[in-house]
Structure 1
Amino acid sequence: MHNAQPWRFQYFRRRRVFHLRADLRGALPHSDPEHRALHIGCGAALMNLRVAVAHEGWEAQTRPLPDPGDPMLLASVTLTGPLGDEADPAELYPAVRTRHTSRYPFAETEIPASVRSALVDAAHREDVALSFVSGWHLQSVLDLALEAEARNLTDAGAAADLARFTRRADDTRPGTEGVPESAFGPRRRVGRAPMRDFAGGETVPGRPTADFETLPQLVLLSTSRDRPVDWLHTGQAVERVLLRATLEGLSASFVTQALEWQDLRWPLRDPMSGMAYVQMVLRLGYGPPGTRTPRRPVDDVLDIEP
């Protein structure tokens, strides 16, 4: 959420082991009190590490939550030897640098069935279910997102979380995290795409308005249980889906507003499908690739040990 980057890596040279730890500097105390979104964000970073390790020709063993006594140690990745002929997930590597959240309008072009199947498979590889939302369920999800967005604009805690991780043009804080004004995207004039207002309802000089799609293409990622390990699986699935979508020419944005309110999260599910816990909502489509957002410097997120 909000490009908070709540992760820190350690690499132990002698053992060829990476540790992924939660970095509470990226926590959102009001919007994410249970650290569910934090785990999902760290899971996405973990997926990128797995992709990079495979790209460099290494086989790796990943263990989520390897130490019950250290809940901030979210995963370990051990390099076990040379990679065989398996292209997965190394084939996703070109998308790591080119994938950006797009807060711009998408075309009304329907995503082909073959691409939908590829995205479903991408999530399934991480033990997460992905479903495209349609019909009455789509209207319900849109209504819940709009309700949550309205709450966020009037809730002091949500406003504080947003203010901490947004950057205006005249902001003097270091620009290594959060969402800068240049990446807010246009304000919605018409359309039904459930866009977050990163300006918090305030006017941003020079910010344009735009017509968004009338029938947004939304997907839900869900798990059968709702534990920290499930959140980590979700994060890896989200990033795998986003990387695959990028290679397929799709753009994407996050629709997490309703997930931030416990009473709105449960109704997101489709009771007819048997899905259990919705962990993420994504908006997909064909449109601009999005604006790059800042990243913390390497020495701020990676420690290399003997």
Structure 2
Amino acid sequence: MTAEEIGTGTVTALVADAVMAPSLHNAQPWRFQHLRGSGTLRLYADTSRALPRTDPEGRGLVVGCGAALFNLRVAAAATGLASDARVLPDPYDGALLAELPLRRAGRPDSALAALRGAIGRRHCSRLPYDDVGIPADVCGRLQDAARAEGARLLFPGAWHARLVLELTRDAEDAEAHDPELRAETARWTRAPHAEASDGVTAETFGPRQRLVTAPVRDFEAGRRTSGGVPASFERHPHIALLGTPGDGPADWLRAGQALERVLLRATAEGLVASLTTQPLEWPELRWEVRDPRSAMGYPQMVLRLGYGPEGAASPRRPVRDVLEETDRG
């Protein structure tokens, strides 16, 4: 398959898988450009969809784009295409995060291709999970998934898990006293039954916690739009921390790809997951999330994993809104 033979239908299908990735407040801060002349698909950060108060450095934005890049690689491998991306290829264009050459691979990455079926089934579940353990071999495979993308996944011990929960509460309290941050969160939440292509819809909020035992963000933040009753969550949530050796844009992209690989692997293993960034959004709390005895580096994401209901899927922007076709290149 040559570059000229990669049709619009194939590119559209690749991007349709890419945009199923998670992102902060489901802002979906990405755009794609297909250079037909060179057979290249580019991934750009869409800074118009940034969250300047929640994510002032743009770290969360780039992590989300990294997750989309990983989905793109999975879809390419499943289509028989090369799955090796060039990350940050232009030092003069910070918005250009990656390029993926659209060419047939001599031997497609079968491990990546096997994850494509999980892309459509993966979404965050903010519902209560069963209070049961995750087998050690499953945890090991999730750690292998993170390691394959150059990141580390740590399952903290009891004291560290309690600390992460306490730091999440501290972050929620700080957010409650920050009107600009509350307003930004409100802009990305959607009312029940609203027609939306982005943001966090009321159907995905999950119930309020009767006793706060799990690190799940309260998107209603006192507004109580869903009208639901409080529920009991698992008393011993399974928390995992994803970290990278460094803390620059390349590391954030690496973290996003590792995050999505872990999430797709977890989905294939029958697990559900939700993501927590609140304690990472405050510099004074972020470093405390890290276990000083570990070698995980900089914490990039807090995951809650377990067995339980899948919950509702978040809306997605149509491919036509994020993909540009051009003859340049």
Alignment TM-score > 0.5, same fold: yes
- 1:215-263, CA deviations, whole angstroms, 9 ceiling, x for partnerless residues? 1100001111111000000000000000000000000001111011010
Q: Name the counterpart of 2:119.
A: 96
Are 2:242 and 2:255, in contact at CA under 8 Å, matched by a contact in 1? Answer: yes
- Equivalent-residue separation in structure 2 for 1:208 and 1:288 (angstroms): 17
Q: Name the counterpart of 2:248.
A: 227
Q: List alignment gaps of at least 5 residues for structure 1.
A: none
Alignment of 1:15 with 2:43, yes or no, is no
Q: Name the counterpart of 1:185.
A: 206
- Equivalent-residue separation in structure 2 for 1:223 and 1:80 (angstroms): 30
Alignment of 1:241 with 2:291, yes or no, is no
Residues 34 and 191 (structure 1), Cα distance of their counterparts in 2 relative to 1, 3 Å cut: closer
Aligned pair partner of 2:274 in 234, 244, 253: 253
- Equivalent-residue separation in structure 2 for 1:88 and 1:15 (angstroms): 27
Q: What is the TM-score when the length of structure 1 is the normalising length? A: 0.96
Q: Which amino acid aligns with 1:9?
A: F
- Equivalent-residue separation in structure 2 for 1:135 and 1:68 (angstroms): 43
Aligned residue pairs total 304
Are 2:30 and 2:45, in contact at CA under 8 Å, matched by a contact in 1? Answer: yes
Residues 13 and 200 (structure 1), Cα distance of their counterparts in 2 relative to 1, 3 Å cut: same
Q: Name the counterpart of 2:69.
A: 46
Name whichever structure is richer in strand by fraction: 1
Are 1:2 and 1:162, in contact at CA under 8 Å, matched by a contact in 2? Answer: yes
Residues 61 and 274 (structure 1), Cα distance of their counterparts in 2 relative to 1, 3 Å cut: closer
Alignment of 1:82 with 2:102, yes or no, is no
- Equivalent-residue separation in structure 2 for 1:85 and 1:40 (angstroms): 25
Q: Name the counterpart of 1:209.
A: 230
- Equivalent-residue separation in structure 2 for 1:154 and 1:225 (angstroms): 31
Are 1:7 and 1:21, in contact at CA under 8 Å, matched by a contact in 2? Answer: yes
- 1:26-53, CA deviations, whole angstroms, 9 ceiling, x for partnerless residues? 2000010110000000000001100111
- Equivalent-residue separation in structure 2 for 1:303 and 1:15 (angstroms): 14
Q: Which amino acid aligns with 1:151?
A: A
Alignment of 1:25 with 2:53, yes or no, is no
- Equivalent-residue separation in structure 1 for 2:326 and 2:284 (angstroms): 44
Q: Which amino acid aligns with 2:83?
A: A
Q: Which amino acid aligns with 1:278?
A: P
Name the SS for the 2:121 alignment partner.
coil
Name the SS for the 1:110 alignment partner.
coil
Alignment of 1:126 with 2:135, yes or no, is no
Q: Name the counterpart of 2:221.
A: 200
- Equivalent-residue separation in structure 2 for 1:9 and 1:157 (angstroms): 31
Q: List alignment gaps of at least 5 residues for structure 2.
A: 1-23
Residues 170 and 59 (structure 1), Cα distance of their counterparts in 2 relative to 1, 3 Å cut: closer
Q: Which amino acid aligns with 1:272?
A: R
Shift of 1:191: 4.9
Are 2:271 and 2:308, in contact at CA under 8 Å, matched by a contact in 1? Answer: yes
Are 1:54 and 1:83, in contact at CA under 8 Å, matched by a contact in 2? Answer: no
Shift of 1:207: 1.6
Aligned pair partner of 1:277 in 294, 298, 302: 298
Aligned pair partner of 1:163 in 186, 189, 194: 186
Aligned pair partner of 2:312 in 249, 268, 291: 291
Give the share of equivalent positions with the same residue, in percent. 50
Are 2:189 and 2:219, in contact at CA under 8 Å, matched by a contact in 1? Answer: yes
CA-based RMSD of the aligned residues comes to: 1.3
- Equivalent-residue separation in structure 2 for 1:285 and 1:275 (angstroms): 22
- Equivalent-residue separation in structure 1 for 2:83 and 2:121 (angstroms): 24
Shift of 1:170: 7.3
Aligned pair partner of 2:131 in 84, 108, 113: 108
Q: Name the counterpart of 2:6.
A: none
Residues 92 and 170 (structure 1), Cα distance of their counterparts in 2 relative to 1, 3 Å cut: closer
Are 2:153 and 2:296, in contact at CA under 8 Å, matched by a contact in 1? Answer: no
